Amino acid sequence: MSVEQLLRDTLHRADTYQVSPDLFARVRRSIAEDRAHRRRVRAAVAWSLAGLLSVAVYLVALAEVVDGRVTWPWWALEALTAAILITLILVLGPLIRRFGGIFASSVFTAHPSTARHFLRVLDVAYYLVFTAFVLIETQVVPREEWLGPSGTAVHLQWLTERIGAMLLLMGLLHAITIALLPVLGVVFSSIWRQLTPEERQTATDQTR
Q: Does 200 have pLDDT greater than 60?
A: no
pTM of the model: 0.69
Please report the sign of the dihedral spanned by the C-alpha atoms of residue 140, residue 143, residue 146, residue 152. negative
Which of 17, 39, 62 is the C-terminal boundary of a domain? 62
Same-domain status, 84 and 42: no
Residue ranges making up the domain that contains 12: 1-62
**Separation of alpha carbons 94 and 33, rounded Å:** 18
Q: What is the mean pLDDT of residues 15-37?
A: 65
pLDDT at 202: 61
Final residue in a domain of this structure, among 62, 91, 111: 62
Count of structural domains, the chain = 2
95 and 139 both lie in a single domain: yes
* Amino acid code (one letter) for 7: L
CB 178 within 8 A of CB 103: yes
85: left (phi over 0), alpha (psi -120 to 50) or beta: alpha
83 in the same domain as 55? no
Same domain, 15 and 100: no
- Strands 64-66 and 69-71 turn out to be antiparallel
Would you state the pLDDT for residue 205? 56
Indicate whether 92 and 36 sit together in one domain.
no
Burial tier of 199 (Cβ tally within 10 Å: 0-12, 13-18, 19+) = exposed
**Which is more confident, 10 or 94?**
94
What type of residue is 206? Q
Q: What percent of the chain has pLDDT over 70?
A: 71
Percent of the chain with pLDDT over 90: 13
Tell me which range, 91-95, 100-104, 163-167, is most confidently predicted by mean pLDDT: 163-167
Task: Express each pLDDT in 126-183 by its tens digit.
Answer: 899 999 999 998 888 888 888 777 778 888 888 999 999 999 998 898 888 888 777 7
Residues in the chain, how many? 208
DSSP 71: E
Q: Do 133 and 174 lie in a common domain?
A: yes
Same domain membership, residue 87 and residue 43: no
**49-60 pLDDT tens trace:** 998 899 899 888
Residue scoring higher pLDDT (100 or 134): 134
Q: Give which of 19, 16, 38 is closest to 27, Cα–Cα.
A: 19
